[in-house]
Amino acid sequence: MHSMMDEEKDAVRRKVGKPRKYANRSERQAAHVENLKRKDLKEIQAYVLPEVKDILLSVCEAIGKTQSELLSEILVRFAECRN
């Protein structure tokens, strides 16, 4: 016979109420990466000059998009213009 605690422990988390509290920043990052993997997204790594990184960050902040969203949009538009 399951107790109330067992049911709560086995329950599926839903996006209701307050967001989940993470123990530290690395746990939060790991959860974010896992969520991205579930979305079938692929990771890219690029080395750029510090000035270019600063531009990317300021543009993202100004238009309210993540770096991933902005870079994806730029690449898709570039590919469309080439065709």
- The per-residue pLDDT for range 3-53, each reduced to its tens digit, is 555 555 555 556 666 667 777 888 888 887 888 788 888 889 999 999 999
Instruction: Say how many CA atoms lie within 13 Å of 26 toward its Cβ.
Output: 0
pLDDT for the residue 22:
76
pLDDT for the residue 64:
92
pLDDT for the residue 4:
53
Residue 76 within a domain = yes
Residue 25 within a domain = no
Over residues 50-71, the pLDDT tens digits come to 999 999 999 999 999 989 899 9
Residue 31 within a domain = no
Residue 20 within a domain = no
Number of separate domains in the chain: 1
pLDDT for the residue 1:
52
- Range of 56's domain? 44-83
